[in-house]
Amino acid sequence: MQFNQAMIDEFTLLAKFPRESKMQGIKLHSNADNSMQSAAQRLFDKGIIDSPDGGYLTELGLDLIEHVTILHSALRE
């Protein structure tokens, strides 16, 4: 199993979502990095976020952010 750059970009974007509240989201601006805009679109297409420019995490997204947080904590130096 390998992580490709698209997956890493999706992990990176997911990690930007606030974890303190379901009622907080993010908004990608039109001048955001192309890789983050593409990642947001893919996450939206997969039903992980509710808007192609960020928005809020769906129930699936809320589950995944817990896993991303665990991976980040385990792998950081």
According to the model, what pLDDT value does residue 2 have? 93
DSSP structure class, residue 32: S
Residue type, position 11, single letter = F
Determine the structural domain holding residue 61 and report its residue range: 5-75
Average pLDDT rounded to a whole number, residues 61-66 = 92
Per the DSSP assignment, residues forming a β-bridge with 27 are 54
According to the model, what pLDDT value does residue 23 have? 83
Task: Provide the pLDDT confidence category of residue 76 given band limits of 50, 70 and 90.
Answer: confident
Which residue is listed with tokens 């601006």?
29
According to the model, what pLDDT value does residue 1 have? 85
Residue type, position 39, single letter = A
Q: How many domains does the chain have?
A: 1
Based on its alpha-carbon atoms, the radius of gyration of the chain, rounded to whole angstroms, reads: 12
Q: How far is Cα 50 from Cα 54, in angstroms, rounded to an integer?
A: 7
pLDDT digits (tens, 9 = 90+) for 25-42: 999 998 999 999 999 999
According to the model, what pLDDT value does residue 58 have? 94
